[in-house]
């Protein structure tokens, strides 16, 4: 069975601090895909990144970076020099190759204070 | 705007009425997924459809809920005889294939009075 755990329910930081959002997953499949989505206060879901299980290279996109470690079944997300506009709920999700659906974690609410 | 479209954005129904939620996938996408987000919770998968076919409905309640994705027109999520517990945000996503990235619509916020 697939499962995604985001242990941090809420995180609060001050602007310009770095923050890491944790994501741990469980799956029996060898081929799977991991995602991060952002849900700002307006409510829409914004796609951030997709990773397949065979690609363990870390990814950096501007102030965002992702650390994928199969050995610990983790796919953590770091925001460097956080900004108020980063305030949102962030969801980690898992999709197995044989299924179409995504299993979402409960989300981490990030608040960045000025 | 070539993104996923959902309407209505907000829907208010009284207990016992029917709710119809519509989703037009991104251009070129033939795979549609419906998810439900209860207040302060994550998204839960409901159903996965391709044109004229339900591929996986394992997340959808067996009673009162149905979904379709006809050959022409949007995908429809239908909730009959709504109850207060159906109040939630319903998100539709589309992709070009079963393992491709899913892009989400803005959601329909259903409130049952």
pLDDT digits (tens, 9 = 90+) for B67-110: 999 999 999 999 999 999 999 999 999 999 888 889 999 999 99
Contact check, Cβ <8 Å, A43/B56:
no
Contact check, Cβ <8 Å, A91/B42:
yes
- A100, A102, A104, best to mutate vs chain B, most B CBs in 10 Å: A100
3-class secondary-structure state, position A43: coil
Please report the pLDDT score of residue A15 as a whole number.
97
* Chain A residues near residue B56 by CB distance under 8 angstroms: 99-101
Shortest distance between the Cα of B76 and any Cα of chain A, in A, equals 18
* Chain A residues near residue B60 by CB distance under 8 angstroms: none
Residue tagged 């409960």 (tokens): A106
Shortest distance between the Cα of A80 and any Cα of chain B, in A, equals 25
Angle, CA A73 vertex, CA A108 and CA A69 arms, to 5°: 100
| Interface contact B39, partner A, CB < 8 A | no
Nearest CA in chain B to A46: B104
| Interface contact B109, partner A, CB < 8 A | yes
| Residue A82 near residue A106 (C-beta atoms within 8 A) | no
User: What residues in chain A have per-residue pLDDT under 70?
Assistant: 98
> pLDDT tens digits for B9-54?
999 999 999 999 999 999 999 999 999 999 878 899 999 999 889 9
| Interface contact B9, partner A, CB < 8 A | no
Please report the pLDDT score of residue A98 as a whole number.
67
Please report the pLDDT score of residue B18 as a whole number.
98
| Interface contact B21, partner A, CB < 8 A | no
* Chain A residues near residue B33 by CB distance under 8 angstroms: 100-102
SS3 labels along chain B? CCCCEEECCEEEECCCCCEEEEEECCCCCCEEEEEEECCCCCEEEEEEEECCEEEECCCCCCCCEEEECCCCCCEEEEECCCCHHHCEEEEEEEECCCCCCCEECCCEEEEEC
| Residue B87 near residue B10 (C-beta atoms within 8 A) | no
Shortest distance between the Cα of A46 and any Cα of chain B, in A, equals 7
* Closest-CA residue to A57 (of A86, A40, A37, A34): A34
A-facing residues of B in 41-70 (CB < 8 A) are 41-45, 48, 55-56, 58-59
* Residue B1: pLDDT over 80: no
């Amino acid at each position: 069975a697939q499962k995604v755990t985001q242990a941090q329910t809420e995180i609060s930081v001050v602007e310009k601090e770095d923050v890491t959002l944790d994501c741990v997953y469980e799956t029996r499949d060898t081929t799977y895909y991991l995602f991060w989505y952002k849900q700002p206060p307006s409510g829409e879901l914004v796609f951030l990144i997709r990773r397949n299980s065979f690609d363990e290279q870390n990814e950096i996109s501007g102030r965002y970076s992702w650390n994928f470690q199969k050995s610990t079944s983790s796919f953590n997300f770091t925001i460097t020099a956080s900004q108020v506009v980063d305030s949102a709920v962030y969801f980690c999700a898992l999709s197995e190759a044989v299924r179409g659906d995504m299993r979402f974690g409960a989300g981490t609410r990030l608040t960045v204070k000025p | 705007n070539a993104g996923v479209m959902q309407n209505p954005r907000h829907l208010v129904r009284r207990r016992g009425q029917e709710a119809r939620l519509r989703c037009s996938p991104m251009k070129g996408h033939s795979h549609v997924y419906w998810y439900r987000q209860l207040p302060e919770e994550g998204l839960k998968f409901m159903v996965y459809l391709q044109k004229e076919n339900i591929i996986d409905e394992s997340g959808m309640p067996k009673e009162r809920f149905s979904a379709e994705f006809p050959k022409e027109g949007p995908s429809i999520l239908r909730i009959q005889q709504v109850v207060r517990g159906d109040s939630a945000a319903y998100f539709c996503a589309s992709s070009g294939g079963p393992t491709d990235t899913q892009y989400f619509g803005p959601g329909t916020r259903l409130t049952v009075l």
